Amino acid sequence: MPDKLPVVEFKSIAKAYSHRQILDCFDLSVAEGEFLTLLGPSGCGKTTLLRLLAGFETPDAGDILLDGERVNALPPDRRNVNTVFQSYALFPHLSVFDNVAFGLRMKKLPAKDIRERTEQALATVHLHEYGQRKPGQLSGGQQQRVALARALVNRPRVLLLDEPLSALDSKLRRAMQLELKALQRQLGITFVFVTHDQEEALSMSDRVVVLRSGVIEQVGGPREIYEQPASLFVAQFVGESNLLAGIITRKLDADSFAAVVEGLPCALRQAQPFTVGDHFSVLLRPEDIHLLAPSAPSVRLRGKLVEQIYKGMTLDSVVELDGGKRLFASEFFDQHEPACAFQIGQRVGVSWVGGRETILPSS
């Protein structure tokens, strides 16, 4: 979102715990009204960034800016930022209404304002009829919405969400992903979301920041992150992927080269400034791979079908290539059904959608 002014800025942030450096010279800007997700494995620094922004931690060096104002020394209650935690942290002895109104009462707002804003917040998350219930009388999804309403009632400049959906079952989690994204669009509040779930990050975000050991591996839109990974780490961490080993044998023209991939000759589009003898990896997404008869003219690799899994809309297959590498394919039934013609143990050919492969230097 380069056309919008930043509401959050991390400038040269450093943070260490017990002599372990988590962040060092870290820079990142979050645009006004953006849904930005921090994605990465455990220990990569994503929750530390959230805690620094919320005011629960202080950076060892660097500056944190909200709307251009340095907030390093401001306590959490002086920052126009609210957090929705993984555990929801609801008061079990208070009603839903009183849980949502708690922050406003701490600010000593007039009773009329508290009631109006609390009722509005509950209506926003579709819980206006649940105000007198206790948290223990609600489902997990409803409790999550109460936690959201409690954060939104304070009208924060930025809403921080620390893996708030991780306690939900998969079906409810998908439903809440849609609700959260719709709510963010409706309110226009800047969301900073932390998750280690790649599908969640791709389905909800305007931009995704992929972190590894406190360093940004890639920043981009969900489609860019998935289809054009900047490194082998991003390629392997985001989504399902197949990585095939290759070596350049000769250059064909300005846009392609000849190579040997998993022991077989193969022509590929030029994607990096490779020279003859360079080693590389071919990233193939399972949905871009097709299984064919071994003698089909478009076959690029060959192997043996070792497993098939029926998933309703797709048929997932595992192929052991002649070189020993295992490759995963996921084919949609509404496109074609070639994999259905093969039996486990049968020889098959492997092809993929031209131009969908991603070529990356081997690390």
**What are the mean pLDDT values of the chain's consecutive 10-residue runs (363 residues total)?**
79 92 95 95 93 95 95 92 86 94 91 93 89 91 88 91 82 83 89 91 94 96 92 90 90 84 79 83 90 89 91 87 90 61 89 82 75
The model's pTM? 0.86
pLDDT computed for residue 100 by the predictor: 94
Residues 6+ apart with CB under 8 A from 105: 114
Type of residue found at 41: P
Candidates 156, 53, 136, 127; CA nearest to 92 is 136
pLDDT computed for residue 363 by the predictor: 64
What order do you get walking across the sheet with 6-17 strand by strand? 20-31, 6-17, 61-66, 69-70
pLDDT computed for residue 335 by the predictor: 52
Range list of H helices, 214-265 = 222-227, 232-237
**Residue 210 and residue 234 in contact, taking contact as beta carbons nearer than 8 Å:** yes
Type of residue found at 197: D
pLDDT computed for residue 207 by the predictor: 97
Whole-number Å distance between alpha carbons of 193 and 39:
9
Looking at the DSSP bridge assignments, the partners of residue 280 are: 246, 361
pLDDT computed for residue 19 by the predictor: 81
pLDDT computed for residue 271 by the predictor: 63
Whole-number Å distance between alpha carbons of 34 and 281:
34
